[in-house]
Structures are given as C-alpha cells and as structure tokens.
Structure 1
Amino acid sequence: MDLYSIIRPALFRFDPENAHHLSLESLSFLHRHQLLNPFINKSSYIPTNLCGLTLGNPVGLAAGLDKDGKYIDALAALGFGFLEIGTVTPLPQFGNPLPRMFRLSNSKAIINRMGFNNDGVQACIKRVEASSYYQDGGIIGLNIGKNATTPIEEAHTDYLIGLRSVYPFASYITINISSPNTKNLRQLQSNNQLYHLLEQISIERDKLIQQFSKRTPIFLKIAPDLTLEEVEVIAQYIEQFQIDAIIATNTTISRDQVSQEKQKDQAGGLSGAPLAHLSNQIIKQFNHLLNGKIPIIGVGGIMTGTDALEKKLVGAKVVQLYSGLIYRGPNLIQECISAMDLD
C-alpha cells in the first residue's frame, strides 16, 4: 500500500511551505519512533562510484529540501544513496518574504522563491556532525551560496567562507551559482565572473588540500536556461579549474510548459515535471562537450523511474530528487533505483 498517496491530499490543503515543514517534522517523528517502515519500500544497495565516493545507490536527495541539516537521519532512512544539504550561506538569513512557494498541481510542478533561507553555515555543520548518518560514513554533500546582502562583485568572498567552513565535513561541496531567487546570482555563470569565481575557488582548494591532507570533490550546480554558447564556456572552465562534477540543473525561469496554470506568473524558479526536458537537454550538451569525462548529476523533473532512466541515457551518472518526492512520496526512490539498475 502506498500510504503517501492517501496522506497527500490532506497535505496539499496546507500552504506549500507549511506543508513542507509539517512533512519533515512528521518524518522526523516517525523516524525517531521507528515507525517509518509502512511508508517506504526498502531501497536496494547498489554501490555507485562518484568522484571517488561510494554511494549506497545512484539516487540522491537534491539540495533545498533540507536546507539546514535538521532532518538528515530521517531522510537517509528513506533509502537515498546520498544526501545534499543546503544551500547554506556564511550568515543566517530569512530569505524572501512570504508567501514564496506555490504548487502548480495540474502540471506536477512547484514555483519557489525561497531565497536561501537558512540558519547559516556554522549551525548546519553542527547538525551534520551530530547526525548518525554522517558518523556512520554516509555521503553528505554541502551546497554553498552567497548571502543576499553581499554585492555580486564580492560574491567570491562568501563562497570562500563557505568552502573553508564545510571542507573538513563535506563528502563533496556544491557551488550554487544558479538559483534564480537571489538577486543577480545567475550573473556568476557569465564568462568573466565565472572565471574569477572558479579561479578563487581553485586557489583556495589547493590550500585546503594541503591543510587537511584530503581532496574533497567540488561540484558546480548550473541553470537549465543556458544558451549553447554559455554551456560551452562553462564546460571549458570546468575542465580548466578541475571541477569534479556538474549538477544539472537548478530550477528554471521559463514558463513555457505551464502557460495554463493560474500561478504561472509567480516569480521564482519552476521545478517538477515541466523541467525534465530542459534539464535533459543541458545534460546532453555537457556530456557531449566534455566527452563523458566529467560526471553529471541529473536533477529536474524526475517524477517516475522512467524519468530517472532517461537522465542516465542522456549522460547523467546519478540523479537527485526533490519535487517528485512531493508529488509521489518516498516510493519514488526505489522506483528510480530499480529503473536505473535495469539499464
């Protein structure tokens, strides 16, 4: 029995952000009291190598669902092969004004303009360290960004603070330059600004490798709204600065696939089913330009196991879920694992 399909209509009566918090708190409660089993299918253990990391399986949690690392153990119990926490910023911040999350149920989509709301990087690190999943060697990526009050010209300073802070604790570190919900952030994907940012990160990484005697992989999370010319520049810099993997993609500012939805004009990033094609196109382009040499984490529009397999077929090594969980529930995880394992 898929209990989530029974519960979902009640959850969808709540404001989306309130439903988000209620779902996570309920999940945490069930986990603490060992009551999660009726809600999940036990996920297969399929060891998967990603940049020298051994993942439990090729299906991970995307950043954004657990921004502060408050629910790591409960989310891990759902059967993910790895978790990504964040986005975290150097200083705590509230994010954008409420309301800032909207369901487009007919399209199985979500628009959000959260704005990197989080408790700050130091609070997140403490929660990561305290989690059983971390202590047992689970793979946790930490996704870092800049504070809204930091001028875009000084963005690299925030990323360097984040990099230094999370380096000893993260299995991998994601540089998020692609959220549409922090003013001007996507400018960092442009030619000159991206070069400067990745150059600074590369210099700092070399210092951190010496300091901690380990090389923590660094991933770059990109937007789905890039032109081919922008993709070509980013691909060149990824190789030049030895970025270990690409996360493709973040949410889209396009509304082409949801033109009939009442909430389509809400500002923010669109995720869910309508994002699948855009994400797949970007994955395919990067895979072609990089000749498959740089692993790609596919995310965006995965609502079924078939969607996950399609991402693998166009070039993704592993995938991450977020919006699909909201519409399908935890059973989507095993469905995606099974589909990707069949290929």
Structure 2
Amino acid sequence: MYRLLFSTILSRLDPERAHHLAFWVIRALPTLGFGRLVQRFTRPRTDIGVDTLGLHFDSPFGLAAGFDKDGKAIVGLGQLGFGHVEVGTLTAIAQPGNPKPRLFRLIGDRAVVNRMGFNNAGASDARSRLARVRTVAGRPVVGVNIGKSRVAPVESSTSDYLSSTSVLAPLADYLVVNVSSPNTPGLRGLQEIDRLSPLLTAVRLSAGTTPLLVKISPDLEDDEVTRIAKLVVSIGLDGIIATNTTLSRADLTTDAAIVDAAGAGGLSGAPLADRSLAVLRLIRAVVPPEFCVISVGGVETADQVAERLAAGATLVQGYTAFLYRGPLWAREINRGLDRTLARPTRPRTARA
C-alpha cells in the first residue's frame, strides 16, 4: 500500500513538503488515542534487546539524526517500532538552514541528497520537550545530536558545542558530537586529530555522566578512521557513530543530469552501504569489545541490520529507507530480527 502511495503521490511532492506531512502524522500519533496499540503491533516480539551505554534498547534498530531535528515526534517514532530515536542535529544558536530546495530524491538509487544545513530552533528551544519526553512511559531511548552553529567561527567551535552540551546533556540518554556533516562550512575539518582531541575532551568533561559519542564521515581515509577510533577510546568517550552522509557520487544509476541538478550536499541511502560497513569493520578492529559502535548508512532490510550486528555493530540506525518504505519500516526490521536473532548463531548483545 505505501509503495503505491509513494509512487503515485508522495514521489511527486517536493521532498521536504512530503517529509513535513509525514512528520505531522507521526507527531500526532500519541494524541490520537491508539499510539500504544500501534506500539504493541510494531515492537519486537522476542528478546532482541541490547544493553549498552548503561541503557537498555528494546530493539537494536533505531532512527538516525535528521528526521526529528527538534525532538517533536520522539514518542510517535518510538510507537512505530524504533528502539531509539536520535534527535537533531541541534545547535546552540537557532538557524533556518540553507535556502530551499535543499532535499532531493534519487529514486533509482534509493538515495537522497540533502543540504539542509542544520535547520533547527536551537538547543534551548528543545529543552522543555526533551524534559517532558523523559517522563513518558514506554518511550524509546533518546539520543541528542549536537553540531556547530553556522555563525560560530571554527576557532570558537569548542565553546559553541559546550553551550549546547550544558543545555542538552542532562536531558539526553546519550549525546552525540556531530563533526561530519558536509553542509556546515568548516565542520568536517574538526575531524582532524589536533582539533578533534581538545573538542571531545572538553565536551566529555561538560557532559558529566551522560554517555558521549562522536559521529564521523564515510569520506575519511581508512587510516584516519583508525586514528579517530583510537583517539576516542583514549579520551574516554563511550562510542562512535559511523557514518554520516557522503560527498561521493560514484556508481550511481540515476541519470547524471538529475544528480547534477540536485547539486551539492550529502548523499545518503543504499549507495552508502558498502562504505559504511567497511568503516564499521575498521573501527571494530581497534576498539574494545564493549565499546559502543552504532552503524548507519545504506541499511534497508532486517538482513542488512543483522549483517551489521554480525560485523560488530552494537546498534544500527537508518533514515533514508524510511522515506521509501514508509511508516511500518521499523516493524519490518523488528520482525526480521525476531527471526534472525533467534537463531543459535545470533550475535551476543554488547554490554557496557
């Protein structure tokens, strides 16, 4: 049914408008009176939970940052079956993001190009919503992804991140430092070791007992991935999220004119799967077994989620396939994992 709706109607709408329509429905789900009933239909039927970061995740599959930028639909998304929801990217200073249009579908590749530019209402605006969500029974685990405000000079990045940390860390189940989006000038340069180390050290101290992770780019060289993984372990971070969107346009099947018309921005979706899996394996090879590694990029099916778990992922996130597969996508993943992870060869869950 959703595939027919997507091909006949949603695919003809402006992608950002279609996103807002879907978001409105999901946000309203808890208030419509049957959200809990939906949750009983979408949540895992077997024990496939994961214990990591000092938290329990009912499902190893969650929603990546970018869909719910301001934390307005967390409960509804949890009711659709996501074991955790990562909100953001939030910045210390509210910002409108880049000019529209800024979101483009590459349907033949089941991919999306975005140059949203961290559009959000700011860390302080999200504070009260996140505080309310913490009181909701049955809510998903809530991650909060923070980034650099566009107006903050690169040399002031640390103080800008610390402003967001002070507001949001006490309200997050885990906190993520995003230094890998391609849509904020100068941001990816913060992945250089001499800049990344003092930034993460400062945020680690400010975050207190809130688990802290860093999100990295798929476009790093292999040796850079390894160096960052070793660095975050030495600093005492709790995990890594790999990976963000890519600047690469290699091996796409979509007509080159359509790709060129989409222009600059980060590519997500199926074309990112191989590189994301490769980065996961690089990280897992150099971090301790109990270290949390969240794999994201190109995941669409339960078998792909299981593959990431078998390759060493502690948790797995998706986003782009949500646009193509619809509101029951997380349920499909959970049902597949109910079967796959119940096998005798299922990977053991990580514990921290």
Instruction: Work out whether 1:298 is the aligned partner of 2:295.
Output: yes
Q: Provide the C-alpha distance between the structure 1 equivalents of 2:308 and 2:173, rounded to a whole number of angstroms.
A: 23
Distance 1:138 1:303, change over 3 A: closer
- Percent identity, aligned pairs only, is 39
* Aligned equivalent of 2:74: 72
Which runs of 5 or more residues in structure 2 are unaligned? 347-352
Q: What is the one-letter code of the residue matched to 1:322?
A: Y
Tell me if the contact between 2:127 and 2:168 (Cα under 8 Å) persists in the aligned partners: yes
Q: CA deviation at 1:191?
A: 1.7
Q: CA deviation at 1:223?
A: 0.7
* Aligned equivalent of 2:53: 51
Q: What is the one-letter code of the residue matched to 2:12?
A: R
* Aligned equivalent of 1:324: 321
Give the SS at the match of 1:264.
helix
Match of 1:8 among 6, 9, 12: 6
Tell me if the contact between 2:219 and 2:247 (Cα under 8 Å) persists in the aligned partners: yes
Q: CA deviation at 1:51?
A: 1.3
* Aligned equivalent of 2:199: 197
Tell me if the contact between 1:72 and 1:133 (Cα under 8 Å) persists in the aligned partners: no
Q: What is the count of residue pairs matched by the alignment?
A: 333
Instruction: Work out whether 1:263 is the aligned partner of 2:263.
Output: no
Match of 1:234 among 224, 228, 231: 228
Deviations 1:142-181 (A, max 9, x none): 1111110111111111111111111211100000001011
Tell me if the contact between 1:40 and 1:331 (Cα under 8 Å) persists in the aligned partners: no
Tell me if the contact between 1:140 and 1:170 (Cα under 8 Å) persists in the aligned partners: yes
The within-5 A match list for 1:86-165 is 86-131=88-133, 134=136, 138-165=140-167
Q: Out of 46-55 and 148-157, give the one that drifted further.
A: 46-55
Q: CA deviation at 1:27?
A: 2.4
Q: Provide the C-alpha distance between the structure 1 equivalents of 2:177 and 2:136, rounded to a whole number of angstroms.
A: 21
Q: Provide the C-alpha distance between the structure 1 equivalents of 2:5 and 2:135, rounded to a whole number of angstroms.
A: 27
Distance 1:165 1:40, change over 3 A: same
Deviations 1:3-26 (A, max 9, x none): 422322211111001110011112
Q: CA deviation at 1:318?
A: 1.0
Q: Cα RMSD over matched residues?
A: 2.0
Q: CA deviation at 1:134?
A: 4.5
Q: CA deviation at 1:269?
A: 0.4
Q: CA deviation at 1:32?
A: 2.4
Q: Out of 256-265 and 190-199, give the one that drifted further.
A: 256-265
Tell me if the contact between 1:287 and 1:315 (Cα under 8 Å) persists in the aligned partners: yes
Q: What is the one-letter code of the residue matched to 1:143?
A: N
Tell me if the contact between 1:128 and 1:134 (Cα under 8 Å) persists in the aligned partners: no
Deviations 1:38-75 (A, max 9, x none): 89952215332121101121111111000001111211
Q: Provide the C-alpha distance between the structure 1 equivalents of 2:300 and 2:205, rounded to a whole number of angstroms.
A: 39
Tell me if the contact between 1:41 and 1:331 (Cα under 8 Å) persists in the aligned partners: no
Q: CA deviation at 1:334?
A: 2.7
Give the SS at the match of 2:341.
helix
Which runs of 5 or more residues in structure 1 are unaligned? 210-214
Q: Provide the C-alpha distance between the structure 1 equivalents of 2:220 and 2:315, rounded to a whole number of angstroms.
A: 21
Q: Provide the C-alpha distance between the structure 2 equivalents of 1:41 and 1:69, rounded to a whole number of angstroms.
A: 23
TM-score, with normalisation over the residues of structure 1? 0.91
Tell me if the contact between 1:156 and 1:200 (Cα under 8 Å) persists in the aligned partners: yes
Q: What is the one-letter code of the residue matched to 2:211?
A: P
* Aligned equivalent of 1:212: none
Q: Provide the C-alpha distance between the structure 2 equivalents of 1:202 and 1:127, rounded to a whole number of angstroms.
A: 24
Deviations 1:170-223 (A, max 9, x none): 100000001011011000101211112122223334xxx3xxxxx110011111
Distance 1:79 1:260, change over 3 A: closer
Give the SS at the match of 1:237.
helix
Tell me if the contact between 1:298 and 1:319 (Cα under 8 Å) persists in the aligned partners: yes
